[in-house]
Amino acid sequence: MTEKRVTVEICMGTTCFVLGARDFSSIEDQIALRWPGQVEIIPVHCMDFCRGGAFHGAPYMKVNHVPVGKAHPQLLMSMLEEMLGGK
């Protein structure tokens, strides 16, 4: 049986970084321990979701290419728990 894999892109553009994306670094070790080899976290320079003043949704992330606004570490952990289960 193949293990599920999840790709998480975290926007590290200026707006997202200032509004909380920097907080994701605090859970990377926890994710690696809980789901070893199953979650790839990729910081990206900017996702352009704030273009045109859409700052109200920042910070942004993509989970398996699906955009998620108002992202925060607890939301990501909940999503991973739902997708991968606990170990």
Which three-class secondary structure state does DSSP give residue 58? coil
DSSP code for 64:
T
Per-residue pLDDT of the chain (87 residues; tens, 9 = 90+): 567 899 999 999 999 999 999 999 999 999 999 999 999 999 999 999 988 776 789 999 999 999 999 999 999 999 999 999 865
* pTM exceeds 0.85, yes or no: yes
| CA dist., res. 81 & res. 85, Å (int) | 5
Residue 73 is predicted with a pLDDT of 97
CA-angle at 68, arms to 50 and 79, nearest 5°: 155
Domains and CATH numbers, the chain: 6-84 (3.40.30.10)
Token reading at 62: 């993509």
Residue with tokens 């992330």: 61
